[in-house]
Amino acid sequence: MTQSLTIARPDDWHLHLRDGAMLNAVLPETARDFARAIIMPNLVPPVVTGAQATAYRDRILAALPEGMDFTPLMTLYLTEDTDPADMEAAHASGLINAVKLYPAGATTNSSSGVSNFSNVRACLEKMAEIGLPMCVHGEVTDHDIDIFDREAVFIDRVLDPIRRATPGLRVIMEHITTSNGVDYVKANDTDLGATITTHHLIINRNHILAGGIKPHYYCLPVAKREEHRLALRAAATSGDARFFLGTDSAPHTDALKEHPCGCAGCFTATNTMPLLAHVFEEENALDKLEGFASRHGPAFYRLPVNSDTLTLTKSDAVTEFPTKLEAGEDTVTVFDPGFPIHWSVAR
């Protein structure tokens, strides 16, 4: 039995491509299926200025294999020294589609992020004025807040006050992991959206910790209890246009994942679309996959839906995905859902 589903070609609204050999290795994995992606700016050093974003975009386009059709949508990394005029010019020229807020120290390469929010007031007000969206890594960094509570506390203590103080600021809560995140989005009908990753629809915290520690399931925000995974599944498959796909595919070398202080990030670029088809079918919501992966994101970012299509097919045979990708001298482990997948992308 073969089943097939054709949707408008999807986009990835939260993606890490890195640089150098890693960029060369991972870019085709995304460009094969996705037409566009919001490119995260957390390089070392970060992409802070328009000039840095131009140079990074050029490196991405130079790494794109011949014949692949992919558009990187660039972002700037917000720091306390960001110049609102530089940000405005990068937006006006069409170079950037969003600005990324990392609370300082919250995640991989976030040390240049924001500690004192009063130092970014002028930037936030400029973004609200010109309609430039802000992507947010929504976790507090306080050592006395339990890591499983850091998203919920961020919403109350940081995000909601910022949004109240900055009317018109358009915010994307990136990679939400809790029912608190889902509920906050649902309670606010203007200027607020959220991305959901593939892996947070599949794993809960038991997958990381029960029966031995699984470094390749460790990412930030860390996966939460099962009730939260179910809330994310309900939101993603609901058809509500405020929720859309941002894979947060975040490659790290195996040496740095399988390490006494392992890096946060799951690499899902290779198999995201078949995994999502599996999840949406489980939820009896295959008809909602196109909205989540291909329509809601462009609507939020005020961009056209892609005119080309992607076809997913389901067969009796189990789909074989590579377990690892080579990146220069290193390898990157592809996210393993832990159960057989019968969907694949028709080539």
- Active-site residues: which are they? 248
The 107-126 contact track toward ligand NCD, x by CB under 6 A, reads xx------------------
Using CB under 6 A, pick the residue from 8, 11, 13, 16 that binds ligand NCD.
16
Distance CA 92, CA 33 (A): 29
- Reading phi first (left if > 0) and then psi (alpha if -120 to 50, else beta), residue 339 is in beta
Q: Is 209 annotated as a binding residue?
A: no
Cβ(195)–Cβ(221) below 8 Å: no
Residue 9 binds Zn ion (CB under 5 A): no
Q: Is 122 annotated as a binding residue?
A: no
Using CB under 6 A, pick the residue from 57, 100, 126, 137 that binds ligand NCD.
137
Other C-beta atoms lying within 10 Å of the C-beta of residue 221: 25
Residue 245 binds ligand NCD (CB under 6 A): no
Largest CA distance in the chain: 59
Using CB under 6 A, pick the residue from 24, 30, 42, 247 that binds ligand NCD.
42
Residue 248 binds ligand NCD (CB under 6 A): yes
Mapping DSSP onto H, E and C, the string for 240-294 reads CCCEEECCCECCCCHHHHCCCCCCCCCCCCCCHHHHHHHHHHHCCCHHHHHHHHH
Binder of residue 204, out of Zn ion, ligand NCD, none (CB less than 5 to 8 A by kind): none
Residue 229 binds ligand NCD (CB under 6 A): no
Q: Using the minimum distance from each CB to ligand NCD, give the nearer residue, 43 or 312.
A: 43
- C-alpha atoms less than 13 angstroms from C-alpha of 328 in its C-beta half-sphere: 11
Binder of residue 171, out of Zn ion, ligand NCD, none (CB less than 5 to 8 A by kind): none
Q: What element of type H or E holds 12?
A: strand 12-15
Q: Using the minimum distance from each CB to Zn ion, give the nearer residue, 170 or 200.
A: 200
Structure tokens at 134: 């802000």
The 263-292 contact track toward ligand NCD, x by CB under 6 A, reads -xx---------------------------
What DSSP assignment string belongs to 142-197? -TTS-GGGHHHHHIIIIIHHHHHHSTT--EEE-S--SHHHHHHHHT--SSEEEEE-
Structure tokens at 278: 């599996």
Q: For residue 311, what are the β-bridge partners?
A: 6
Binder of residue 228, out of ligand NCD, Zn ion, none (CB less than 5 to 8 A by kind): none
Residue 107 binds Zn ion (CB under 5 A): yes
Q: Is 207 annotated as a binding residue?
A: no
Q: Using the minimum distance from each CB to Zn ion, give the nearer residue, 205 or 239.
A: 205
Place of tokens 């679309």: 273
Q: Is 200 annotated as a binding residue?
A: no
Place of tokens 């005020």: 302
Q: Is 42 annotated as a binding residue?
A: yes
Place of tokens 């039995």: 1
Binder of residue 33, out of Zn ion, ligand NCD, none (CB less than 5 to 8 A by kind): none
Using CB under 6 A, pick the residue from 53, 98, 99, 219 that binds ligand NCD.
219
- Burial classification of residue 183, based on how many CB atoms lie within 10 Å of its CB (0-12 exposed, 13-18 middle, 19 or more buried): middle
The 224-253 contact track toward Zn ion, x by CB under 5 A, reads ------------------------x-----
Cβ(347)–Cβ(321) below 8 Å: no
Using CB under 6 A, pick the residue from 173, 220, 276, 279 that binds ligand NCD.
220
The site for ligand NCD (CB under 6 A) is made up of 16, 42, 107-108, 137, 219-220, 248, 250, 264-265
Q: Give the residue numbers of the binding site for Zn(2+).
A: 14, 16, 100, 137, 175, 248
Q: Give the residue numbers of the binding site for substrate.
A: 16-18, 42, 137, 220, 252, 264
